[in-house]
Structure formats: structure tokens, C-alpha cells
Amino acid sequence: MKLHWGPNSPFVRKVMITAHETGIAGRITLVRSPVAMNKTNVHVMVDNPLSKIPTLVTDEGQVFYDSDVICEYLDSLHTGARLIPLAGVTRWEVLRWNALGSGMLDALVLWRDERMRPEGHQSVETLLAYQQKSSATLERVENEIAALEGLPFSLGHIAIGCMFGYLDLRFADVDWRDGRSASARWFDTFRTRPSAQCTEPSVADKLVPSDPSIQTAAHPATLK
């Protein structure tokens, strides 16, 4: 299988942690595929016209995206305990935790894009709204992390772990651990998993060398 991949994408990391936890990582060839909101990558768009990673292509040519679909597909390829329970109340709990972690990641990626705009072009209201939504989400996770700890390891844990990891990578100034000791302890344990360690951005970055022939298209600075 081929995975359009990048070392810093938290959604790619969800897929790679799932691949390691299910014992499938060795069957996946990683293709470094840089993508961005303000660029297109024609190599990715052959498989996924939305130009997003992760995108998975099987040896038979079957294409899977987005990250949740890929994770479910990988979870169907092994015989161990399911990371996404097939039925029952635990399935809903796992899907909600995954939606909370992944939804927060969506917000964080957009928040970061907003912060990277030229200073005068940033929307103060949008920055403040992201700050408040993120803070409310972190409070919710802190208050309910015991419930997550009570569940068997799942895609929900992976999404929340990737959320904290992305905060460390891109929002070091936010100090999300402050006043959230239960979350900080939970993440300290999460980070000791081999699947988390080998997908940590600084470690993953060494896995696949950059290929200068594969670049995103930077668009002209004028729009008709």
C-alpha cells in the first residue's frame, strides 16, 4: 500500500499510530507529499482531488480517505482487538472521543493558518474564537479523561494523543498542561507507546527523505 504522508500532519499521525498498533505499518510505503491550504499537490490530486493527506492507495488501486476511513480500513485488516469497536455503547464513546480530538485538530490547523497570515490580515475575532473553543475543549477533556482511561485503547485515544502532540508541536506558547494535570499525566503515558514514539514528528521526519521533484504548486500572487 502507498500512503501520501507527511511527518507533521496530525491526521497522518492518527493513521500511522493505527498502522503500528494493528501491526500493518510494515506493509505501507510512505510517500512524502507536502500539502497546504494555499497550495495544490498534483501528485496527491491524482488519488484525492481535495489534495489532502493522509490518502491511502492499496496495491489493487483502491483509494481511501479521509483519516477516519483509512483508520477503519486498517483496523479491518488485522485479527487483534479492534481500535474501533464494531458495535455497542463503546463504539459511540470511541467515535465521540475521536470526533472531539479530530475536531480540535481541525480547529488547531486553522488557528495556526490564521496566526501565520501577515499580521494586519489576521482576523482578531477568529483568533479569539479559536482560543476560546480550544480552551473549552481542553477543559472538557481534562474533566472527562478518567472516562477515556476506562476504555480499551482505541481510535479515540489515538485522536486525543495526536491532539496533545500537535499542541506541543505548533502551540508551545499555549502551555496546555497548565492547570490540566490529569491530561498531562495521561499524555505522558500515551507517549511511552512505541506507536507514539516512532510517529513523533522529529522522529518521523527522518523516515523519508524530501524529494525535490515532488513539490506543491505555489500559485501566482495575482488573481483575475
Among 79, 202, 213, 222, binds a second copy (CB under 8 A): 222
Report how far Cα 144 is from the mean position of its chain's Cα atoms: 21
150 binds a second copy (CB under 8 A): no
**# of chain residues touching a second copy (CB under 8 A):** 51
Q: Is the peptide bond before 66 cis (omega within 30 degrees of 0)?
A: yes
Stretch of 20-28, 164-172, 182-190, 215-223 lying at the interface with a second copy (CB under 8 A): 215-223
Instruction: State the nearest-atom distance from the C-beta of 203 to a second copy, in Å.
Output: 28
Which of 29, 132, 197, 210: binder of a second copy (CB under 8 A)?
Answer: 132
Helix (H) or strand (E) holding 48: none
Does the protein bind a second copy through residue 123 (CB under 8 A)?
Answer: yes
Whether 98 and 68 have beta carbons less than 8 Å apart is answered as yes
Among residues 24, 32, 40, 184, which is the contact residue for a second copy, using CB under 8 A? 40
Burial class of 103 by CB neighbour count within 10 A (0 to 12, 13 to 18, 19+): middle
Q: In what order do the strands lie in the sheet with 2-5?
A: 29-32, 2-5, 55-57, 63-64
Q: Which one of 68, 157, 163, 196 is in contact with a second copy (CB under 8 A)?
A: 68
Verify binding: residue 81, a second copy, rule CB under 8 A: no
User: In the set 133, 177, 191, 193, which binds a second copy (CB under 8 A)?
Assistant: 133
Residue given cell 473553543 in the structure block: 133
Q: What is the DSSP letter of 217?
A: E
Please choose, out of 6-14, 32-40, 160-168, 199-207, the segment that lies near a second copy by the rule CB under 8 A.
32-40
Q: Would you state the cell numbers that stand for residue 135, as one nine-digit string?
A: 480552551
Sequence-separated (6 or more) residues with CB below 8 Å from residue 21:
83, 153, 158, 193, 195
Is 214 a binder of a second copy (CB under 8 A)? no
Site string for a second copy, 98-117 (x = CB under 8 A): -xx--xx-xx--x------x
Residue 64 sits in the site that holds a second copy (CB under 8 A) = yes
Alpha helices (H) along the chain: 10-21, 42-47, 67-75, 89-115, 124-149, 155-170, 181-190, 194-197, 201-204
**Contacts with a second copy, residue ranges (CB under 8 A):** 36-40, 45, 49-52, 62-66, 68-69, 72-73, 92, 95-96, 99-100, 103-104, 106-107, 110, 117, 120-121, 123-129, 132-133, 136-137, 139-140, 218-223
